[in-house]
């Protein structure tokens, strides 16, 4: 969020995750995607990391950034869960909410921008 407010161009490389998952679960999911993982916020349920990107070049010469990782060494894996026939699915919930313009303006003002 800080980089977006400051107008930093390019892919966001440093991320912090805080969810209702335990810190070790967050870390297990992040580690394959990150060049480095830091744990300063572990006691607060936050794990941070530096994402690994590579630049891919297409046949037409155009380029784009791709999130890379060491998936073979992943400590955790994603697996489908069993869903009994006839069980209703939960209503999907949005992952992110749009930041109200007033909140962005307030944050920029605090940064002196």
Is residue 112 in some structural domain?
no
Cβ partners under 8 Å of residue 9, min gap 6: none
Is residue 56 in some structural domain?
yes
Is residue 45 in some structural domain?
yes
Is residue 59 in some structural domain?
yes
* Rounded Cα gap, residues 34 and 15, in angstroms: 9
Is residue 101 in some structural domain?
no
> What per-residue confidence (pLDDT) applies to 1?
57
Our count of domains for the chain comes to 1
Collect contacts of 50-55 with beta carbons under 8 A, ≥24 apart.
50/13, 50/14, 50/15, 51/11, 51/12, 51/13, 51/14, 51/15, 53/11, 53/13
Mean pLDDT, consecutive 10-residue segments, the chain of 113 residues? 68 78 84 84 85 86 83 66 84 76 84 83
């Amino acid at each position: 969020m800080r980089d977006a407010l400051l107008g930093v161009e390019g892919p966001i490389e440093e991320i912090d995750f805080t969810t209702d998952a335990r810190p070790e679960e967050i870390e297990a999911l992040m580690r394959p995607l990150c060049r480095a993982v830091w744990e300063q916020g572990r006691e607060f349920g936050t794990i941070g990391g530096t994402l690994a990107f590579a630049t891919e070049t297409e046949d037409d010469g155009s380029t784009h950034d791709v999130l890379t990782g060491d998936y073979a060494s992943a400590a955790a894996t994603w697996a489908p869960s069993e869903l009994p026939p006839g069980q209703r699915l939960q209503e999907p919930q949005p992952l992110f909410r749009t930041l109200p313009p007033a909140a962005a303006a307030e944050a920029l003002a605090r940064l002196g921008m």
